[in-house]
Chain A
């Protein structure tokens, strides 16, 4: 169909435009844009760096898949970042407890972490859902503000009670034992978290398109009054939807502490939860697109770190790049609607 191609072309155009404008910015601060892009491309071809990129992509993908559920229900969850922090907190809590009490056999460690991270992240997400359903409190504000609470709570833990006594005073927990880390896919540099991403994408797709809950989420997202008419309880759908949405972000948090850092430290997420918002829109709330798109954005995070090391371009450089992509894609969305009408006329 015409509109499909228009849509893809506009998205690609938006990304290219962002590449170009970012290059101008690098140039303006006295860096060679060609060199900068060489560093970025290198990230995606070097096996070691590719592994790091994938590892950074996993939390983004998981949070994005969660956001897709919330956004389909027209619930503007800006709180993936905070839900990620809660997931990190929960996963780390299990590890520390297991290490201290010796009550958890190593084989049960990872499953317990998964369940706990999902549940704690999810419960954190229930709060704004409940407030919206019961008292019509705007979820954008609650989810956003709760991000700071979550982040500062983790700060408190690692500067205080959870600080490694042998860590020379650094705000870090003890390193995780091997059995609490996410393994690589044997024979590669790539984390097995990528497989988890694909499995979760399948599940999200299945829930949204095949189940009653998915149907209800779509009805609620399209029209609250039609949902009421259909006898759908907004409260029930909002709570379940946000449990899934925030629970997946919580798993993203787990994938940071167990897949990237190997312990908990302050500001362990450089904004993965916000990047996920961008990715959710870029993939047009489609779980299949979200997986590759999220992994590519993981690469951009790695690239940002590499630029910092190689060319002393501040990490915010890559954040500007991400923001520009988002800005241009949103503008493209607008243009798409316009060209959609034109292409109707030309059919």
Chain B
């Protein structure tokens, strides 16, 4: 890679940015070159998103200078940024669901190049997509798209606006492994075209897969910038967290106990009223992790919602600890001790306009000690929050901070902390239904969450883990159930199977005849 000064696309010098009670960026220096993919690493709340929001004109820095292509600039708004060729894809999608792909892409163009020539724009968008090996229907509506496709639209939007400086904030956290590989191929192509890409992630293997250089942030500061050749996994993890990280999990072998959750021939409808679960029979026992592997959209969400009482079954039975709770509603499930980490934290798992303490009792506010009769006991709510914030190391100035102001990973920690540690009276959950529980978490927090899940398993909880990350599934599960088009293709033990076999079953190409309970 050419690092001569003339190749500098962006230079950020001594950037300082504070929020009430937080120093988010503390004299940060950051450089991006033409034709480089620059990985930005750091713990949750380290200040990565803030730094990039500054470059994208969403925040003004308190101090510091920004140079783009060697010229000092003031970036007052995303429109200014786009004008300078800077585009950003955010950690949480900002598309408008009822509108089509074209509408979303051309939205915000300063001077529409073709006055409302939607047909032409659609054509250009398809061309642009195919240049990077993607296929997309420009007239599809956003809500119809998968997370991976939405991501693609976000990137297309930025490219369509002519950006050659791309900021991608945790783009892979919602992608399947295949989609991630596809994205990387496209990014490499963009790099060859001379674009500069900032790539924020928590997954070290991804940094090694596409990065040229890496910058590590910690508590608002840059602790290192280095080229990938000089970096090692252990070193990066240590720089990020400030202590060595174990990548191996100690998993004790324990005997599973009584069944906690039993699903018997369960059928249920999906969001659009079509059958999503078609005859699912599963058991999760005490001291056992049941992993659900599958390509997103094959019924995982519906399965998790059936297991937590949020979705009605149209046929079949749901039994928890020997009691039939079929269609008894979510409260019955909460009261039976079923914790649920949902896939979409901002939409479902949190009320981002309410504060951290309020969110930490979202599913438990109606029970003692958080409330008595009709009245909420705010003192207990705050105490609970203080305890969980400490235990799960949630970075927030105080428990009354609006949850929207937390960094993405810390928002996820709020959900995880409530579901794993927020039951009134400090009781451990009977069953944890966890969808992508470590999505958006840094390596340290990921390690902590996985360890906690395993500790609960040893203490007698049942764990129901939905993940696309096969590595996570293999590492944590005692048994793996593979779901395809609303049916279980087979249940296997991680020690007796392979990624290949599970992969075939995920694609529906293989089905085990006998399903061991």
Contact digits for A227-246, partner B, Cβ 8 Å, 1 yes 0 no: 01111000000000000000
Does B347 belong to the interface (CB within 8 Å)?
yes
What's the least CB distance linking A3 to chain B, in Å? 11
Measured between beta carbons, the chain A residues less than 8 angstroms from B1 are none
Does B294 belong to the interface (CB within 8 Å)?
no
Measured between beta carbons, the chain B residues less than 8 angstroms from A312 are none
Measured between beta carbons, the chain B residues less than 8 angstroms from A226 are 347-351, 362
Q: Are B310 and A212 in contact (CB under 8 A)?
A: no
Measured between beta carbons, the chain B residues less than 8 angstroms from A231 are 309, 329-331, 334, 363
Q: Across the two chains, which residue of chain A brings its CB closest to B361?
A: A215
Q: Across the two chains, which residue of chain B brings its CB closest to A220?
A: B351
Contact of A212 among B20, B330, B352, B376 (CB under 8 A): B376
Q: Are A345 and B60 in contact (CB under 8 A)?
A: yes
Q: Are B354 and A218 in contact (CB under 8 A)?
A: yes
CB within 8 Å of A: which B352-392 residues: 352-354, 358, 362-363, 365-366, 371, 374-376, 378
Q: Are A230 and B347 in contact (CB under 8 A)?
A: no
What's the least CB distance linking A89 to chain B, in Å? 30
What's the least CB distance linking A133 to chain B, in Å? 15
Query: If A210-B376, A225-B347 touch, does A230 touch B59 (CB 8 Å cutoff)?
Result: no
Q: Are B358 and A229 in contact (CB under 8 A)?
A: no
Does B127 belong to the interface (CB within 8 Å)?
no
Contact of A213 among B349, B362, B374 (CB under 8 A): B374
Q: Are A229 and B342 in contact (CB under 8 A)?
A: yes
Cα-based distance from A219 to B62 in the complex (angstroms)? 34
Query: If A215-B358, A223-B351 touch, does A230 touch B363 (CB 8 Å cutoff)?
Result: yes
Q: Are B362 and A211 in contact (CB under 8 A)?
A: no
CB within 8 Å of A: which B301-336 residues: 309-310, 329-331, 334
Measured between beta carbons, the chain A residues less than 8 angstroms from B371 are 212
Does B18 belong to the interface (CB within 8 Å)?
yes
Q: Are A215 and B347 in contact (CB under 8 A)?
A: no
Q: Are A229 and B362 in contact (CB under 8 A)?
A: yes
What's the least CB distance linking B429 to chain A, in Å? 15
Measured between beta carbons, the chain A residues less than 8 angstroms from B363 are 229-231
CB within 8 Å of B: which A303-345 residues: 342, 344-345
Contact of B354 among A212, A222, A225, A228 (CB under 8 A): A222
Q: Are A219 and B362 in contact (CB under 8 A)?
A: yes
Q: Are B351 and A344 in contact (CB under 8 A)?
A: no
Q: Which residues of B are interface residues toward A (Cβ below 8 A)? A: 18-20, 59-60, 62, 309-310, 329-331, 334, 340, 342, 344, 347-354, 358, 362-363, 365-366, 371, 374-376, 378
Can you list 10 contacts pairing A with B, beta carbon distance less than 8 Å? A210-B378, A211-B374, A215-B376, A219-B351, A219-B354, A222-B354, A223-B347, A226-B350, A228-B330, A344-B59
Interface pairs A-B: 3 shortest CB-CB? A345-B60, A231-B330, A231-B331
